[in-house]
Structure 1
Amino acid sequence: MPHLVIEYSQKLEECISIPALVSNGQQAMSETGLFNASAIKTRALPYRDFVLGKSHEGSSNLFIHAEVRILEGRTAEQREALSAAIFNYLCEAAPDVPEISVEVRDMQKASYSKRIPF
């Protein structure tokens, strides 16, 4: 159920392994102990065209943004710990990326639908 969506500047594909970023992001989610490891879904989406605030000369235009979507019901402390764990992982995995952010979003149980395999 929990989803980790890693958005990144496509240029990062030249300097880091995106499959490793996804795999290790999955592991970082699992290591929080908040979720069943088999329920975590992690994916990455590259962006070719974007603007990062006000461009500065010599700016690398590299970014990673992780959105973590979880069902409602976690405490503020759990959401903060989850955000910190993913943020720390991304900073370690991509030390040369100047723009890294993480957002944890609650999904409403009433509006979340899911097909479960037979």
Structure 2
Amino acid sequence: MPHFIVDCSESILASYDEEYIIEQIHLVAENSDLFDNNDIKVRLNTFKKYSVGNARQDFIHVFAHIMQGRTTKQKAALSQHIVEKLTELFPDIANIAMNISDFEKATYCNRSML
């Protein structure tokens, strides 16, 4: 926790490799001071077949899943900073977005909690 899952068109890898994109999102998350560096997880899924507005347009969407407890203002700032970084890296992609959902502490479990 937290998990940042990036869905994107495969063609964006022509600009930057997966490792670099993952590293950039990790750095923005780390610089937010909302998470412990060692807890940040970033994954990237590329798609060969997709439709955006009934057309084949490149896209990047980040889905963040974080433990509850951050304010709406903190989450909005995190989304904005990640979208800003991706827009800086990919200025020609019009479809860049992010959303954040909260894990509920009461129902969350991981291996170390067993």
Question: With structure 2 as the length reference, what TM-score do the two structures score?
Answer: 0.90
Note the C-alpha offset of 1:15. 2.5
Q: Given the alignment, which residue of 83, 88, 110 partners 1:87? A: 83
Aligned residue identity for 1:64: I
Distance 1:98 1:80 in 2: 20
Distance 2:85 2:101 in 1: 18
Distance 1:17 1:36 in 2: 25
Aligned residue identity for 2:21: L
Matched residue, 2:3: 3
* Aligned partner of residue 111 in structure 2, secondary structure: coil
Note the C-alpha offset of 1:16. 2.2
Aligned-residue RMSD, C-alpha: 1.3
- Equivalent pairs counted in the alignment come to 112
Question: With structure 1 as the length reference, what TM-score do the two structures score?
Answer: 0.88
Identity %: 29
* Aligned partner of residue 8 in structure 1, secondary structure: strand
Distance 1:48 1:83 in 2: 25
Unaligned 5+ segments in structure 1 are none
Runs of 4+ off more than 6 Å: none
Distance 1:80 1:43 in 2: 21
Aligned residue identity for 1:108: E
CA contact (8 A) 1:16 1:94 kept: no
Distance 1:115 1:26 in 2: 23
Unaligned 5+ segments in structure 2 are none
Matched residue, 2:51: 51
Matched residue, 1:73: 69
